[in-house]
Amino acid sequence: MEEKFLQIYKYGEDVLKLKAKNIKDINGKIAALIKQMTATMYYTKNAIGLAAPQVGRSLQLSVIDLSFGEKKEEFTVLINPEIIESEGEEAGDEGCLSLPGITIPVKRKTKLLLKYFDMDGKEQQREFEDFKARVIQHEVDHLDGVLILDRVSSLKKQMVKKEIKRLKKDGIWK
């Protein structure tokens, strides 16, 4: 029997630095992975998105639910997502399951046009705005091997790395 919840890979793991591979066939294995990723995302209780590289799979796949499982229509699966257009800019604090305990201000576009495939293999093209656009950009970054830590100044990055060392030493970063 397969594990229900997947391990979340943390900052420093190689899989998080790679550009994930496109999914060519949306089959039973992909459907099972989507189910496991969704269960893992909900299990963490504070996650609203999870990308396949965060669970050790280098695939262009992400699940998002801003409602924490409360509203079915909020649940979104992105397969091979591609940002076609984007506009506006806003800074906002972001956290990440791969950087537990860390929050970093990140500049993101406020509106985007996204092309992706859904779970049924149908190509979609949709506009997203504001917070959902931010979350999608965060997840697409994961698929490109980019973490929020890569989006800050080298000084801020060094400060965060010191904080990670402290969290590890204190046994908080597990």
- What is the per-residue pLDDT across 20-32, written as a single tens digit (0 to 9) for each? 999 999 999 999 9
Active-site position among 2, 82, 139, 163 = 139
Q: What residue spans of 23-75 are helical by DSSP H?
A: 28-43
Give the chain's largest Cα–Cα span.
47
Q: Tell me, what's the pLDDT at 72? A: 85
Q: Domains in the chain, ordered, with CATH?
A: 14-169 (3.90.45.10)
Using alpha carbons, select from 17, 15, 170, 20 the residue that is nearest to residue 100.
170
Other C-beta atoms lying within 10 Å of the C-beta of residue 166 = 12
- What is the per-residue pLDDT across 107-157, written as a single tens digit (0 to 9) for each? 999 999 999 999 999 999 999 999 999 999 999 999 999 999 999 999 999
Tokens of 10: 């943390």
Q: Tell me, what's the pLDDT at 24? A: 95
Is 139 designated active site? yes
pLDDT at 106 over 50: yes
Report how far residue 48's alpha carbon sits from residue 107's, in angstroms, rounded to the nearest whole number: 19
- What is the per-residue pLDDT across 67-102, written as a single tens digit (0 to 9) for each? 887 888 889 999 999 999 999 999 999 999 999 888
pTM for the model: 0.93
